Protein backbone atom coordinates (compact mmCIF):
# COMPACT_ATOMS: atom_id res chain seq x y z
CA UNK A 1 0.00 0.00 0.00
CA UNK A 2 2.88 2.37 0.73
CA UNK A 3 4.91 1.37 -2.32
CA UNK A 4 6.64 4.48 -3.70
CA UNK A 5 5.38 3.74 -7.20
CA UNK A 6 1.86 4.58 -6.07
CA UNK A 7 2.68 7.70 -4.10
CA UNK A 8 5.75 9.29 -5.60
CA UNK A 9 5.45 7.78 -9.04
CA UNK A 10 8.75 5.99 -8.74
CA UNK A 11 8.38 4.19 -12.01
CA UNK A 12 10.03 4.02 -15.41
CA UNK A 13 9.40 1.94 -18.46
CA UNK A 14 10.74 1.40 -21.93
CA UNK A 15 9.37 -0.07 -25.13
CA UNK A 16 11.26 -1.89 -27.81
CA UNK A 17 10.59 -4.44 -30.51
CA UNK A 18 11.91 -7.73 -31.77
CA UNK A 19 11.65 -8.38 -35.52
CA UNK A 20 12.11 -11.49 -37.57
CA UNK A 21 14.59 -10.91 -40.40
CA UNK A 22 14.70 -12.19 -43.95
CA UNK A 23 17.16 -14.85 -42.80
CA UNK A 24 14.68 -16.08 -40.18
CA UNK A 25 16.78 -14.71 -37.31
CA UNK A 26 15.17 -12.60 -34.61
CA UNK A 27 16.72 -9.23 -33.78
CA UNK A 28 15.90 -6.79 -31.00
CA UNK A 29 16.00 -3.19 -32.17
CA UNK A 30 18.36 -0.88 -30.23
CA UNK A 31 18.33 -2.91 -27.04
CA UNK A 32 21.44 -1.26 -25.62
CA UNK A 33 20.09 2.26 -26.21
CA UNK A 34 16.84 1.35 -24.50
CA UNK A 35 18.69 -0.02 -21.50
CA UNK A 36 20.65 3.22 -21.25
CA UNK A 37 17.52 5.30 -21.55
CA UNK A 38 15.90 3.40 -18.70
CA UNK A 39 18.96 4.28 -16.62
CA UNK A 40 18.42 7.95 -17.46
CA UNK A 41 14.80 7.66 -16.33
CA UNK A 42 15.99 6.01 -13.09
CA UNK A 43 18.21 8.99 -12.52
CA UNK A 44 15.26 11.35 -12.87
CA UNK A 45 13.04 9.43 -10.45
CA UNK A 46 15.80 8.73 -7.89
CA UNK A 47 15.78 4.97 -8.56
CA UNK A 48 19.05 3.05 -8.61
CA UNK A 49 19.92 2.42 -12.28
CA UNK A 50 19.19 -1.06 -13.57
CA UNK A 51 22.41 -2.59 -14.96
CA UNK A 52 22.41 -2.71 -18.77
CA UNK A 53 23.38 -6.40 -18.72
CA UNK A 54 20.36 -7.26 -16.57
CA UNK A 55 18.09 -5.42 -19.00
CA UNK A 56 19.57 -7.16 -22.03
CA UNK A 57 19.55 -10.55 -20.37
CA UNK A 58 15.86 -10.24 -19.46
CA UNK A 59 14.86 -8.97 -22.93
CA UNK A 60 16.69 -11.75 -24.73
CA UNK A 61 15.35 -14.40 -22.41
CA UNK A 62 11.74 -13.22 -22.79
CA UNK A 63 12.03 -13.11 -26.58
CA UNK A 64 13.62 -16.54 -26.72
CA UNK A 65 10.88 -18.05 -24.54
CA UNK A 66 8.26 -16.47 -26.81
CA UNK A 67 10.00 -17.12 -30.11
CA UNK A 68 6.89 -18.61 -31.65
CA UNK A 69 5.02 -15.32 -31.17
CA UNK A 70 7.48 -13.26 -33.20
CA UNK A 71 5.57 -12.37 -36.42
CA UNK A 72 7.01 -13.38 -39.78
CA UNK A 73 9.28 -11.25 -41.92
CA UNK A 74 7.61 -8.46 -43.95
CA UNK A 75 4.33 -8.72 -42.01
CA UNK A 76 5.09 -5.29 -40.53
CA UNK A 77 4.20 -6.76 -37.15
CA UNK A 78 6.67 -7.43 -34.34
CA UNK A 79 7.03 -8.70 -30.80
CA UNK A 80 6.76 -5.76 -28.47
CA UNK A 81 8.90 -5.78 -25.33
CA UNK A 82 7.87 -3.72 -22.33
CA UNK A 83 10.38 -3.49 -19.45
CA UNK A 84 9.07 -1.80 -16.29
CA UNK A 85 10.92 -0.83 -13.14
CA UNK A 86 9.12 0.47 -10.07
CA UNK A 87 9.57 1.13 -6.38
CA UNK A 88 7.87 -1.47 -4.19
CA UNK A 89 9.46 -0.69 -0.85
CA UNK A 90 7.02 0.91 1.64
CA UNK A 91 7.93 4.52 2.20
CA UNK A 92 5.72 7.26 3.59
CA UNK A 93 8.23 10.12 3.83
CA UNK A 94 9.62 11.85 0.75
CA UNK A 95 12.45 9.43 0.17
CA UNK A 96 13.29 6.90 -2.53
CA UNK A 97 12.25 3.30 -1.85
CA UNK A 98 14.72 0.71 -0.65
CA UNK A 99 13.23 -2.02 -2.79
CA UNK A 100 12.40 -2.19 -6.52
CA UNK A 101 10.89 -4.65 -8.91
CA UNK A 102 11.86 -5.10 -12.53
CA UNK A 103 9.43 -6.90 -14.80
CA UNK A 104 9.47 -7.41 -18.52
CA UNK A 105 6.71 -8.77 -20.70
CA UNK A 106 6.25 -9.30 -24.42
CA UNK A 107 3.27 -9.21 -26.75
CA UNK A 108 2.92 -9.38 -30.53
CA UNK A 109 1.81 -6.07 -32.03
CA UNK A 110 0.79 -4.79 -35.44
CA UNK A 111 2.78 -2.20 -37.38
CA UNK A 112 3.19 1.25 -35.91
CA UNK A 113 1.62 2.86 -38.96
CA UNK A 114 -1.86 1.75 -39.91
CA UNK A 115 -1.49 -0.64 -42.80
CA UNK A 116 2.20 -1.10 -42.08
CA UNK A 117 5.07 0.20 -44.15
CA UNK A 118 3.79 0.32 -47.67
CA UNK A 119 5.23 1.23 -51.01
CA UNK A 120 4.14 4.49 -52.59
CA UNK A 121 1.78 4.31 -55.57
CA UNK A 122 4.41 5.94 -57.80
CA UNK A 123 6.33 4.01 -60.39
CA UNK A 124 9.55 4.98 -62.07
CA UNK A 125 9.25 4.17 -65.77
CA UNK A 126 12.34 3.76 -67.86
CA UNK A 127 12.04 5.88 -70.95
CA UNK A 128 11.94 3.59 -73.93
CA UNK A 129 11.77 4.49 -77.58
CA UNK A 130 8.40 4.35 -79.43
CA UNK A 131 9.52 1.60 -81.78
CA UNK A 132 10.77 -0.61 -78.94
CA UNK A 133 7.58 0.00 -76.97
CA UNK A 134 5.41 -0.89 -79.99
CA UNK A 135 7.52 -3.97 -80.66
CA UNK A 136 7.17 -5.17 -77.07
CA UNK A 137 3.37 -4.81 -77.03
CA UNK A 138 3.10 -6.38 -80.48
CA UNK A 139 5.05 -9.36 -79.26
CA UNK A 140 3.08 -9.68 -75.99
CA UNK A 141 -0.32 -9.45 -77.72
CA UNK A 142 0.75 -11.17 -80.92
CA UNK A 143 -0.30 -8.23 -83.13
CA UNK A 144 -0.17 -7.91 -86.91
CA UNK A 145 2.52 -5.80 -88.56
CA UNK A 146 -0.05 -3.19 -89.46
CA UNK A 147 -1.30 -2.91 -85.86
CA UNK A 148 2.28 -2.65 -84.69
CA UNK A 149 2.99 0.15 -87.19
CA UNK A 150 -0.12 2.02 -86.03
CA UNK A 151 0.94 1.72 -82.38
CA UNK A 152 4.42 2.93 -83.24
CA UNK A 153 3.00 5.95 -85.08
CA UNK A 154 0.81 6.75 -82.07
CA UNK A 155 3.71 6.50 -79.63
CA UNK A 156 5.93 8.64 -81.85
CA UNK A 157 3.28 11.35 -82.05
CA UNK A 158 2.91 11.26 -78.25
CA UNK A 159 6.63 11.47 -77.78
CA UNK A 160 6.92 14.54 -79.98
CA UNK A 161 4.15 16.26 -78.02
CA UNK A 162 5.74 15.28 -74.72
CA UNK A 163 9.15 16.53 -75.79
CA UNK A 164 7.62 19.83 -76.88
CA UNK A 165 5.91 20.26 -73.51
CA UNK A 166 9.11 19.44 -71.70
CA UNK A 167 11.02 21.92 -73.81
CA UNK A 168 8.45 24.64 -73.11
CA UNK A 169 8.60 24.01 -69.39
CA UNK A 170 12.36 24.09 -69.34
CA UNK A 171 12.34 27.32 -71.30
CA UNK A 172 9.84 28.87 -68.90
CA UNK A 173 11.90 27.81 -65.93
CA UNK A 174 15.04 29.26 -67.48
CA UNK A 175 13.23 32.54 -68.10
CA UNK A 176 11.98 32.69 -64.54
CA UNK A 177 15.46 31.99 -63.20
CA UNK A 178 16.81 34.75 -65.39
CA UNK A 179 14.20 37.21 -64.15
CA UNK A 180 14.94 36.30 -60.55
CA UNK A 181 18.65 36.83 -61.13
CA UNK A 182 17.92 40.15 -62.79
CA UNK A 183 15.82 41.36 -59.85
CA UNK A 184 18.46 40.31 -57.38
CA UNK A 185 21.07 42.20 -59.34
CA UNK A 186 18.89 45.31 -59.47
CA UNK A 187 18.29 45.19 -55.76
CA UNK A 188 21.98 44.91 -55.08
CA UNK A 189 22.74 47.76 -57.45
CA UNK A 190 20.14 49.94 -55.77
CA UNK A 191 21.59 49.19 -52.36
CA UNK A 192 25.08 50.03 -53.60
CA UNK A 193 23.82 53.29 -55.13
CA UNK A 194 22.15 54.33 -51.89
CA UNK A 195 25.30 53.52 -49.98
CA UNK A 196 27.29 55.62 -52.48
CA UNK A 197 24.87 58.54 -52.13
CA UNK A 198 25.13 58.33 -48.35
CA UNK A 199 28.91 58.38 -48.50
CA UNK A 200 28.89 61.31 -50.89
CA UNK A 201 26.54 63.17 -48.56
CA UNK A 202 28.85 62.44 -45.62
CA UNK A 203 31.78 63.85 -47.57
CA UNK A 204 29.82 67.04 -48.20
CA UNK A 205 28.80 67.32 -44.54
CA UNK A 206 32.41 66.83 -43.57
CA UNK A 207 33.46 69.66 -45.84
CA UNK A 208 30.85 71.96 -44.32
CA UNK A 209 31.22 71.17 -40.59
CA UNK A 210 34.89 70.24 -40.47
CA UNK A 211 36.75 67.09 -39.31
CA UNK A 212 36.18 67.44 -35.57
CA UNK A 213 32.42 68.08 -35.73
CA UNK A 214 31.99 65.30 -38.29
CA UNK A 215 33.59 62.83 -35.90
CA UNK A 216 31.10 63.87 -33.22
CA UNK A 217 28.26 63.33 -35.64
CA UNK A 218 29.41 59.79 -36.44
CA UNK A 219 29.68 58.99 -32.73
CA UNK A 220 26.19 60.33 -32.09
CA UNK A 221 24.83 58.22 -34.93
CA UNK A 222 26.39 55.07 -33.46
CA UNK A 223 24.96 55.85 -30.03
CA UNK A 224 21.55 56.43 -31.57
CA UNK A 225 21.72 53.07 -33.35
CA UNK A 226 22.61 51.34 -30.07
CA UNK A 227 19.72 53.05 -28.35
CA UNK A 228 17.28 51.91 -30.97
CA UNK A 229 18.39 48.30 -30.62
CA UNK A 230 18.25 48.40 -26.84
CA UNK A 231 14.96 49.30 -25.31
CA UNK A 232 12.66 48.44 -22.48
CA UNK A 233 9.00 48.06 -23.34
CA UNK A 234 6.42 49.00 -20.77
CA UNK A 235 2.79 48.70 -21.80
CA UNK A 236 -0.56 48.48 -20.12
CA UNK A 237 -4.01 47.34 -21.12
CA UNK A 238 -7.49 47.10 -19.70
CA UNK A 239 -8.45 43.66 -18.41
CA UNK A 240 -11.53 43.64 -20.67
CA UNK A 241 -13.54 46.01 -22.88
CA UNK A 242 -15.63 47.38 -19.98
CA UNK A 243 -12.56 47.63 -17.75
CA UNK A 244 -13.95 45.93 -14.66
CA UNK A 245 -12.91 42.32 -15.11
CA UNK A 246 -11.54 41.06 -11.74
CA UNK A 247 -12.41 44.41 -10.14
CA UNK A 248 -12.83 43.96 -6.36
CA UNK A 249 -16.07 45.95 -6.18
CA UNK A 250 -17.58 46.56 -9.58
CA UNK A 251 -19.09 43.94 -11.81
CA UNK A 252 -17.71 43.25 -15.29
CA UNK A 253 -20.53 43.51 -17.82
CA UNK A 254 -18.74 41.90 -20.75
CA UNK A 255 -20.55 39.02 -22.44
CA UNK A 256 -19.06 35.53 -22.15
CA UNK A 257 -16.14 35.01 -24.51
CA UNK A 258 -15.64 38.72 -25.04
CA UNK A 259 -12.82 38.93 -22.50
CA UNK A 260 -10.89 36.13 -24.18
CA UNK A 261 -11.44 37.66 -27.57
CA UNK A 262 -10.16 40.96 -26.25
CA UNK A 263 -7.03 39.35 -24.85
CA UNK A 264 -6.40 37.28 -27.97
CA UNK A 265 -5.79 40.50 -29.89
CA UNK A 266 -2.28 40.29 -28.48
CA UNK A 267 -0.63 37.37 -30.20
CA UNK A 268 0.88 34.57 -28.12
CA UNK A 269 4.40 34.98 -29.57
CA UNK A 270 4.30 38.67 -28.62
CA UNK A 271 3.15 37.89 -25.08
CA UNK A 272 5.93 35.30 -24.83
CA UNK A 273 8.52 37.98 -25.50
CA UNK A 274 7.37 40.18 -22.63
CA UNK A 275 9.27 39.21 -19.47
CA UNK A 276 6.74 40.20 -16.87
CA UNK A 277 2.99 40.59 -17.03
CA UNK A 278 1.11 41.33 -13.86
CA UNK A 279 -2.43 42.21 -13.09
CA UNK A 280 -2.99 45.31 -11.03
CA UNK A 281 -6.34 45.56 -9.28
CA UNK A 282 -7.50 48.93 -7.98
CA UNK A 283 -6.55 49.64 -4.37
CA UNK A 284 -9.37 51.11 -2.25
CA UNK A 285 -8.68 54.50 -0.67
CA UNK A 286 -8.57 53.16 2.92
CA UNK A 287 -5.86 50.71 1.91
CA UNK A 288 -3.87 53.47 0.23
CA UNK A 289 -3.77 55.51 3.42
CA UNK A 290 -2.77 52.44 5.43
CA UNK A 291 0.31 51.88 3.32
CA UNK A 292 2.59 54.14 5.34
CA UNK A 293 4.98 51.60 6.80
CA UNK A 294 6.02 50.16 3.42
CA UNK A 295 9.65 50.09 2.32
CA UNK A 296 10.98 53.52 1.29
CA UNK A 297 12.12 53.94 -2.32
CA UNK A 298 15.71 54.67 -1.30
CA UNK A 299 16.09 51.16 0.11
CA UNK A 300 14.57 49.64 -3.01
CA UNK A 301 16.94 51.75 -5.08
CA UNK A 302 19.96 50.44 -3.19
CA UNK A 303 18.78 46.90 -3.75
CA UNK A 304 18.38 47.49 -7.49
CA UNK A 305 21.86 49.05 -7.73
CA UNK A 306 23.35 46.10 -5.90
CA UNK A 307 21.56 43.61 -8.16
CA UNK A 308 22.85 45.48 -11.20
CA UNK A 309 26.39 45.33 -9.82
CA UNK A 310 26.08 41.57 -9.38
CA UNK A 311 25.03 41.32 -13.01
CA UNK A 312 27.85 43.53 -14.25
CA UNK A 313 30.29 41.30 -12.44
CA UNK A 314 28.64 38.19 -13.87
CA UNK A 315 29.00 39.37 -17.46
CA UNK A 316 32.32 41.21 -17.10
CA UNK A 317 33.91 38.90 -19.67
CA UNK A 318 31.06 39.08 -22.16
CA UNK A 319 31.07 41.95 -24.65
CA UNK A 320 27.88 43.95 -24.90
CA UNK A 321 26.08 42.05 -22.13
CA UNK A 322 25.75 43.75 -18.79
CA UNK A 323 22.44 42.60 -17.36
CA UNK A 324 20.29 39.48 -17.11
CA UNK A 325 17.80 40.68 -19.71
CA UNK A 326 20.44 40.41 -22.41
CA UNK A 327 21.30 36.78 -21.68
CA UNK A 328 21.21 34.42 -24.63
CA UNK A 329 19.66 30.96 -24.29
CA UNK A 330 23.14 29.54 -23.94
CA UNK A 331 24.03 31.96 -21.14
CA UNK A 332 20.76 31.07 -19.45
CA UNK A 333 21.90 27.45 -19.26
CA UNK A 334 25.05 28.63 -17.49
CA UNK A 335 23.83 31.37 -15.18
CA UNK A 336 20.19 30.55 -14.53
CA UNK A 337 20.13 26.91 -13.53
CA UNK A 338 17.53 26.14 -10.87
CA UNK A 339 18.13 23.50 -8.22
CA UNK A 340 16.38 20.15 -8.32
CA UNK A 341 13.28 21.30 -6.43
CA UNK A 342 13.10 24.41 -8.62
CA UNK A 343 13.34 22.35 -11.82
CA UNK A 344 10.51 20.18 -10.62
CA UNK A 345 8.38 23.21 -9.77
CA UNK A 346 9.04 24.74 -13.17
CA UNK A 347 8.29 21.49 -14.97
CA UNK A 348 4.94 21.26 -13.21
CA UNK A 349 4.12 24.90 -13.91
CA UNK A 350 4.97 24.49 -17.59
CA UNK A 351 2.52 21.63 -17.88
CA UNK A 352 -0.17 23.12 -15.69
CA UNK A 353 -0.09 26.55 -17.30
CA UNK A 354 0.68 25.20 -20.74
CA UNK A 355 3.68 27.49 -21.20
CA UNK A 356 5.81 27.75 -24.31
CA UNK A 357 9.57 27.20 -24.51
CA UNK A 358 9.97 30.96 -24.87
CA UNK A 359 7.99 31.59 -21.71
CA UNK A 360 10.20 29.02 -19.99
CA UNK A 361 13.32 31.02 -20.85
CA UNK A 362 11.66 34.25 -19.69
CA UNK A 363 10.79 32.71 -16.33
CA UNK A 364 14.38 31.56 -15.83
CA UNK A 365 15.66 34.99 -16.74
CA UNK A 366 13.32 36.81 -14.38
CA UNK A 367 14.02 34.32 -11.59
CA UNK A 368 17.75 35.04 -12.02
CA UNK A 369 17.04 38.72 -11.39
CA UNK A 370 14.79 37.97 -8.42
CA UNK A 371 17.60 35.85 -6.94
CA UNK A 372 20.05 38.72 -7.57
CA UNK A 373 17.73 41.16 -5.78
CA UNK A 374 17.65 38.65 -2.94
CA UNK A 375 21.48 38.55 -3.02
CA UNK A 376 21.28 34.81 -3.58
CA UNK A 377 23.83 33.06 -5.75
CA UNK A 378 21.49 30.16 -6.44
CA UNK A 379 18.02 30.37 -7.90
CA UNK A 380 15.79 28.91 -5.21
CA UNK A 381 12.27 27.56 -5.51
CA UNK A 382 10.65 30.69 -4.16
CA UNK A 383 12.50 32.83 -6.73
CA UNK A 384 11.09 30.64 -9.47
CA UNK A 385 7.64 30.64 -7.93
CA UNK A 386 7.67 34.43 -7.96
CA UNK A 387 8.81 34.55 -11.59
CA UNK A 388 6.05 32.11 -12.57
CA UNK A 389 3.60 34.42 -10.84
CA UNK A 390 4.68 37.24 -13.11
CA UNK A 391 3.20 35.54 -16.14
CA UNK A 392 -0.42 36.40 -15.53
CA UNK A 393 -1.53 36.45 -19.13
CA UNK A 394 -0.15 33.00 -19.92
CA UNK A 395 -2.60 31.46 -17.57
CA UNK A 396 -5.65 29.65 -18.67
CA UNK A 397 -7.18 31.02 -15.49
CA UNK A 398 -7.23 34.49 -17.03
CA UNK A 399 -10.64 34.93 -18.56
CA UNK A 400 -10.72 31.17 -18.94
Which stretch in 6-14, 57-65, 223-231, 240-248 sits in contact with Zn ion by CB under 5 A? 240-248
Alpha carbon distance 207, 201 (integer Å): 10
> Which range in 33-41, 181-189, 252-260, 380-388 contacts Zn ion by CB under 5 A?
252-260
Among 63, 97, 240, 384, binds Zn ion (CB under 5 A): 240
Q: E strand or H helix at 313, and its extent?
A: helix 297-314
Which C-beta is closer to Zn ion: that of 47 or that of 254? 254
Site membership for Zn ion, residue 393 (CB under 5 A): no
Would you say 332 and 370 are in contact if contact means Cβ atoms under 8 Å apart?
A: no
Of 59-67, 69-77, 238-246, 295-303, the segment contacting Zn ion by CB under 5 A is 238-246
Helices (H) and strands (E) counted in the chain, each on its own, are 14, 5
SS3 sequence of 204-261: HHHHHHCHHHHHHHHHHHHHHHHHHHCCCCCCCCCCCCCCCCCCCCCCCCCCCCHHHH
Nearer to Zn ion, 242 or 266 (CB): 242
The SS3 of residue 395 is: coil
Q: Can you tell me the distance from the alpha carbon of 396 to that of 270, in angstroms, rounded to the nearest whole number?
A: 17
Q: What's phi and psi for 106, nearest 5 deg?
A: -130, 150
User: By C-alpha distance, which of 27, 35, 102 is closest to 67?
Assistant: 27
Nearer to Zn ion, 255 or 357 (CB): 255
Under the binding rule (CB under 5 A), the answer on residue 399 touching Zn ion is no
State which residue, 19 or 262, has the beta carbon closest to Zn ion: 262
The minimum distance between CB 244 and Zn ion, in angstroms, equals 5
Looking at the Cβ atoms of 240 and 310, the one nearer to Zn ion is 240
When asked if residue 242 is in the footprint of Zn ion (CB under 5 A), the reply is yes
Q: How many residues make contact with Zn ion (CB under 5 A)?
A: 5
CA dihedral (45, 47, 53, 55) in degrees, to 10, reads -60
Is residue 149 at the binding interface for Zn ion, with CB under 5 A as the rule?
Answer: no
Shortest spacing between CB 237 and Zn ion, in angstroms: 12
| Residue 263 engages Zn ion in binding (rule: CB under 5 A) | no
Residue 107: phi and psi, rounded to 5, are -155, 140
Q: Min. distance of Cβ 253 from Zn ion in angstroms? A: 6
CB neighbours of 152 closer than 8 A, spacing ≥ 6?
130, 131, 133, 134, 135
Binding to Zn ion by residue 143, rule CB under 5 A? Answer: no
> Residue 302: helix, strand or coil by DSSP?
helix
Interface with Zn ion, residue 252, by CB under 5 A: yes
Per CB under 5 A, the list member of 19, 155, 245, 262 interacting with Zn ion is 245
Among 3, 104, 254, 399, binds Zn ion (CB under 5 A): 254
In terms of CB distance, is 110 or 241 closer to Zn ion?
241
Residues within the interface to Zn ion (CB under 5 A)? 240, 242, 245, 252, 254
Amino acid sequence: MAATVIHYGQEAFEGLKAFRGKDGKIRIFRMHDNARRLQDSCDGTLMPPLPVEKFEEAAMKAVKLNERFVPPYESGASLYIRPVLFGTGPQVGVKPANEYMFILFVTPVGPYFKGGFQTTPFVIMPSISPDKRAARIAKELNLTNEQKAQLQALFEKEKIQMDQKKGQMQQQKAEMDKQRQEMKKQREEMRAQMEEARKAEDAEIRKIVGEEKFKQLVEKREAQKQKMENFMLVASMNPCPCGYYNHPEKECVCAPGVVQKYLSRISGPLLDRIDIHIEIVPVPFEKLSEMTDSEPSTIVRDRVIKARQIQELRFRDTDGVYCNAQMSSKQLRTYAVPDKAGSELLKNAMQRLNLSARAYDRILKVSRTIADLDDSENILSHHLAEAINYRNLDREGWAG
